[in-house]
Structure 1
Amino acid sequence: MASDPSAHEPNRADLHKDPSRVSGMFDQVAAGYDRTNTVLSMGNDRFWRAATTRAVSPRRGQRILDLAAGTGASSVALARSGAYVVAADFSPGMIAEGTRRHRGIPNLSFVEADATALPFGDEEFDAVTISFGLRNVVEPEKALREMLRVTKPGGRLVVCEFSHPPSKTFRGLYRFYNDRVLPVVAKTVSSNADAYDYLNESIRDWPDQPTLSAWIREAGWSDVAYRNLSMGIVALHRGTKPASSGR
């Protein structure tokens, strides 16, 4: 039987964020995903991951949901605390690669999941976090409500996401890097350079820090705040589920 040539063609998502196309795109880059991110971010991905882990503040015995976990790099950092971590992603390829790499960690499990319809009960987790994934969800506000639903009252939300540098000068330099440098480097180090064209478009289209903070509040989270990392290339958003929340 002849193979389907389209199965090997690069899958490129667009700003409509069709879940099957986004998932398929991440399937294709799973094997080299972490290495590519380190190269394209010039090593800053490790700093962003460490800052996110500190914000989540995992403790032994807690249950933590790490959404858009990819191959589990962020989940492993959380699991080192002794917390039980569920690494969830909607890309089967990412889940398979993460399971292969980290199957020996007893307090870490991988689950295929859609952020807008999480396969978990109400109030299961002490904390929920998502890094560089909310931007890829077709209905991010719905995902924020789902995260609230599965979090215990008093539990924490941490969102690490690309954002918009407040400095006009630095923002111009950042746009030049994304528009001119990143595509060239991506063609060298990634198996699907088109995926990083989508990355650039999705960052440009994503709302700024105050707007995302407003979405988080509207979803029902309290004590919402953010701080910029790397001069605002990335923003770390936090919230708490109200103790009296009926969700």
Structure 2
Amino acid sequence: MIRASLDKQPHEVASMFDDVAANYDLTNDVLSLGQDRRWRKEVAKAVDARPAQKILDLAAGTGTSSLPFSAAGAYVVPCDFSLGMLREGKKRNAWLPLTAGDATRLPFRDGVFDAVTISFGLRNVQETDTALREMYRVTRPGGRIVICEFSHPTWAPFRTVYEEYLMRALPPVARAVSSNPDAYVYLAESIQSWPDQPELAAKLQRAGWAKVAWRNLSGGIVALHRGTKSA
């Protein structure tokens, strides 16, 4: 078993996700108390996929996050750098065009996608700014980005309780349901070290995205950031 360090070396992170691929979706459902299903519904609404649109779903893991876009009639490309996740996804949804790719060096041409989205994956990328520029590159003019990522609760008393859960309650729960509980210690630490909502919005703007905005979900446990590529 491997636990990635907070410098987020790509081979460490990929190997860690390979280890947890089989039970990843179930574990997330348990650890989030079922909230992850609501968060993914909000992502689908924000992306607003339409028939014949091309959607890039980064950090797609097993492809679960891609299914709503496909159901809307869009052509979705689930992309992940964990081969273990992609192999698990192929078992479950063999018809999806699951693609291996690094968010900092995307294997796609310029201006291909109507929308690019990443849920709970940007935090694991070593070079966040490079990834945001790459997403901008592969999006067509007028296209959009939607990022769903763990963030920081805005109400101080709730933030204290939440951080206590992350560092004290999450690891023992993970030991009960995950094949690699150490991966969830990394999860807790990476959430705490992640930029807050305004700082991530500023990163999006520096990468070229316009009309950047965010919306807090579950009191700021998760934030949904959006932006548009100028026409």
Counterpart of 2:195 in 1: which secondary structure?
coil
Matched with 2:222 is 234
1:115 and 2:99 matched: no
The alpha carbon displacement at 1:78 in A equals 1.3
Q: How does 1:95-110 map to 2 (within 5 A)?
A: 95-104=86-95, 108-110=96-98
Query: In structure 2, how many angstroms separate the alpha carbons of the residues matched to 1:242 and 1:117?
Result: 22
Match of 1:218 among 206, 214, 221: 206
3-state SS in 2 of match to 1:32: helix
Q: Find the aligned partners of 2:121 and 2:129 in 1 and give their Cα distance.
A: 13
**What is the match of residue 177 of structure 2?**
189
Hey, what does 1:133 align to over in structure 2?
121
Q: Distance in 1 between matches of 2:118 and 2:200?
A: 13
Name 2:82's counterpart in structure 1: 91
The alpha carbon displacement at 1:100 in A equals 1.3
1:31 aligns with 2:22: yes
TM-score, normalised to structure 1, is 0.93
Mind listing any 5+ residue stretches in structure 2 that lack a counterpart? none
Residue 148 of structure 1 is matched in structure 2 by: 136
Provide TM-score, normalisation by structure 2: 0.99
Shift of 1:211: 0.1
C-alpha separation between the residues in 2 aligned to 1:55 and 1:142? 23
- Please say if 1:79 is aligned against 2:70: yes
Question: What is the alpha-carbon distance in structure 2 between the residues aligned to residue 141 and residue 176 of structure 1?
Answer: 29
Match of 1:43 among 10, 34, 37: 34
Q: Report the counterpart of residue 176 of structure 1 in structure 2.
A: 164
CA distance in 2, matches of 1:177, 1:201: 12
Gap runs ≥5 in structure 1? 1-9
Q: Equivalents in 2 of 1:50, 1:146: separation in Å? A: 25
Structure 1 runs (4+) deviating above 4 angstroms are none
CA distance in 1 between partners of 2:228 and 2:89 (Å): 29
Secondary structure at the counterpart of residue 227 of structure 2: strand
Shift of residue 98, structure 1, vs aligned partner? 0.8
Residues of 2 paired with 1:161 and 1:135: CA distance? 7
CA distance in 2, matches of 1:16, 1:151: 28
What CA deviation, in whole Å up to 9, does each residue of 1:168-217 have, x standing for no partner? Answer: 00000101111111111000000000000000010000000000000000
Look up the match of 2:54.
63
Count the aligned residue pairs: 231
- Output the CA distance in 1 between the equivalents of 2:59 and 2:224: 15
User: How far did 1:95 drift?
Assistant: 0.7
Aligned to 2:9: 18
Question: Partners in 2 of 1:149 and 1:180 — Cα distance?
Answer: 40
- Give how far 1:237 is off: 0.1
The CA RMSD measured in Å over matched residues stands at 0.5
Structure with max Cα Rg: 1
Q: Which amino acid aligns with 2:11?
A: S
Which amino acid is the alignment partner of residue 33 of structure 2?
M
1:152 is paired with a residue of what secondary structure? Answer: strand
The 3-state SS of whatever aligns with 2:98 is: strand
